Amino acid sequence: MTTVLSCHDLHAYYGESYILQGVSLEVRRGEIFALLGRNGAGKTTTLRALARAATPFVSQGDILLDGVRINGLRAFEAARRGVSLVPEDRRIIAGLTVEENLLLAQVEGKPGWSLDRIYQRFPRLAERRRQEGITLSGGEQQMLAIARALARDLSLLLLDEPYEGLAPFIVKEIGDLLVELRQSGLTVLLVEQNAVAALHIADRCAILDEGRVVFSGAPQAVIASEKLRREYLAL
């Protein structure tokens, strides 16, 4: 299976705080890859580094997208190449309707899903298309954030804590959506504190602890290992 995104020996800082201490990952095309670990393990920092966000500062290591080194790219340049980060706070733009949030994603760069396709897959967004985006429920805002990512030409979806604060039935609905996106060929890198839900849909996974990868492999191996679950996931 072709590798879409890889990082090798990634070291990153927030100011003087040394967060990532030699992280190496490989994400393959058409899979859901779950990045797990306790709070403060470096999961969000890894996503932001891969998406080429302004922070953290990456001091060492290579990030490759489809085999091409992208360390020097800025976030908007990585986005133009098909990388989209849905952050934990979702970043729904205040003052804009649901539809305006979606249309704004298509202002520059290649379009992805059309509005008709988005509304067909997300009927609740269609019902609320004229409603201000930040007034939606938490689950609806998460769907809007994912739909906004899909509105652009996309090959890699980075998700930071998409289940955070959501009711179990919404968690299942978003999980079903991610499986559907994987089946359509999209690659998903998922950071999630809800390890049980993430392991249930992931093809492969890795566990971070204090900025280092302590496990990489099959979700079934994590489920079967009481030591991994107890020491690194508090399960």
Q: How high is the pLDDT of residue 12?
A: 98
Q: How high is the pLDDT of residue 168?
A: 94
> Which residue, of 98, 133, 153, is where some domain finishes?
153
Asked if residue 30 belongs to a domain, the reply is yes
In a shared domain, residues 144 and 217: no
Q: How high is the pLDDT of residue 15?
A: 95
Of all residues in the chain, the percent with pLDDT exceeding 70 is 100
Contacts of 43 by beta carbon, 8 Å cutoff, 6+ apart? 35, 36, 37, 160, 191, 208
Asked if residue 173 belongs to a domain, the reply is no
For residue 192, the number of C-alpha atoms closer than 13 Å in the C-beta half-sphere is 25
Asked if residue 176 belongs to a domain, the reply is no
Q: How high is the pLDDT of residue 109?
A: 73
CATH number at residue 209: 3.40.50.300
Given a cut of 90, whether residue 126 has pLDDT beyond it is yes
What does the alpha-carbon distance between residue 23 and residue 44 come to, in Å, rounded to a whole number?
A: 13
Given a cut of 90, whether residue 38 has pLDDT beyond it is yes
Asked if residue 175 belongs to a domain, the reply is no
- pLDDT digit string, tens, across residues 94-123: 999 999 999 999 987 788 999 999 999 999
Question: For 187-213, what is the mean pLDDT?
Answer: 97
Domain boundaries, position 106: 83-153
In a shared domain, residues 74 and 56: yes
Domain count, the chain: 2
- Locate 27 and state its tokens: 């994400």
Question: For 175-194, what is the mean pLDDT?
Answer: 96
Asked if residue 178 belongs to a domain, the reply is no
From the list 165, 170, 151, the residue with the least C-alpha distance to 79 is 151
Mean pLDDT score of the chain, rounded to an integer?
96
User: Quick count: other Cβ atoms within 10 Å of Cβ 149?
Assistant: 22
Given a cut of 90, whether residue 163 has pLDDT beyond it is yes
Q: How high is the pLDDT of residue 84?
A: 96
- pTM, whole model, 2 decimals? 0.95
Given a cut of 80, whether residue 235 has pLDDT beyond it is no
In a shared domain, residues 88 and 69: no
Asked if residue 174 belongs to a domain, the reply is no
In a shared domain, residues 119 and 101: yes
In a shared domain, residues 59 and 100: no
Q: How high is the pLDDT of residue 137?
A: 96
Q: How high is the pLDDT of residue 103?
A: 96
